[in-house]
Structure 1
Amino acid sequence: MKVESTAAVSIPQVIGTLPGPFQQRELAMVNDAVVRVAQLHGEFPWHYHDEDELFLCWDGTFRIELDGREPVTMVAGDVFVVPRGLRHRPVADEPAHVLLVERPETKQYGS
């Protein structure tokens, strides 16, 4: 989804187009980052990235499990940055939605 810089984007509208869990849609580009939205439901595979990854919980509740650390529970409005190189996975017992801020080349399943 290519977003024009002069157009507002309705996050709820884009969420309504998501085909299922862990499918992402691009919302906007800002500087050298992309803002994506995704639905979480179930367990995503363990992975890591060579760059930081910002999670903003839009709605619902989920946790980010971190290798060797306590999981971080996220509720609507919470922001958490997974540091580069740290293995992690989001897990949602019920459907939740997240905004991700990352580099455009960031691979969903990690490095």
Structure 2
Amino acid sequence: MTTHHEDLRHLTAVSVPHAVAALPGPFQQHTLARVNDTTAVRLARLEGSFPWHHHDEDELFLCWDGTFRIELEGRDPVVLRAGELFVVPRGIRHRPVAEEAAHVLLVEHPDTKQYGS
């Protein structure tokens, strides 16, 4: 049996800037961390338009750098700049759009499908 102290030996800090530099291309997500088996923190580069989709759970977008908008079906788009976040409620069709490369942290359930339900 491991103790809490022994578990801490294996922890390392995650460098978001290094993870950004290692991303292979637009819209290819990389999971940075898992929290309590219920939450995943993912990183993605946005560039261009992602397909319209929806999820059966909420999805949090935190703009790391750049600027992008989240288009929402039947609603005004939400523009995010570095340091701003927005939660797309479950069931709302949406798509992120970035005119130039931007990076986003996504906070969602680990089983969330990138292209939605």
The percentage of aligned residue pairs carrying the same residue is 69
| 1:64 corresponds to | 70
Question: 2:28 is matched with which residue: 18, 23, 31?
Answer: 23
Q: Is 2:55 the partner of 1:37?
A: no
Give distance in 1, aligned partners of 2:32 and 2:63. Answer: 15
Question: 2:93 is matched with which residue: 78, 87, 99?
Answer: 87
Give distance in 2, aligned partners of 1:59 and 1:44. Answer: 18
How many matched pairs? Answer: 108
Q: Radius of gyration: which is bigger? A: 2
| 1:101 corresponds to | 107
Q: Which has the higher helix share?
A: 2
CA pair 30-5 structure 1, distance change in 2 beyond 3 A: farther
Give distance in 1, aligned partners of 2:10 and 2:105. Answer: 18
Q: Displacement of 1:49 after TM fit?
A: 0.1
Give distance in 1, aligned partners of 2:65 and 2:20. Answer: 11
Equivalent position SS for 1:47: coil
Q: Is 2:4 the partner of 1:10?
A: no
Q: Displacement of 1:30 after TM fit?
A: 1.1
| Residue ranges of structure 1 left out of the alignment (5+ in a row) | none
Give distance in 1, aligned partners of 2:67 and 2:35. Answer: 26
Give deviations 1:60-86, integer Å, cap 9, x for gaps.
Answer: 000000000000000000010000000
Q: RMSD of the alignment, in Å?
A: 1.1
Give distance in 1, aligned partners of 2:10 and 2:67. Answer: 30
| 2:58 corresponds to | 52
Q: How does the TM-score come out when normalised to structure 1?
A: 0.95
Give distance in 1, aligned partners of 2:11 and 2:91. Answer: 35
Give the partner amino acid of 2:78: V
Q: Displacement of 1:52 after TM fit?
A: 0.1
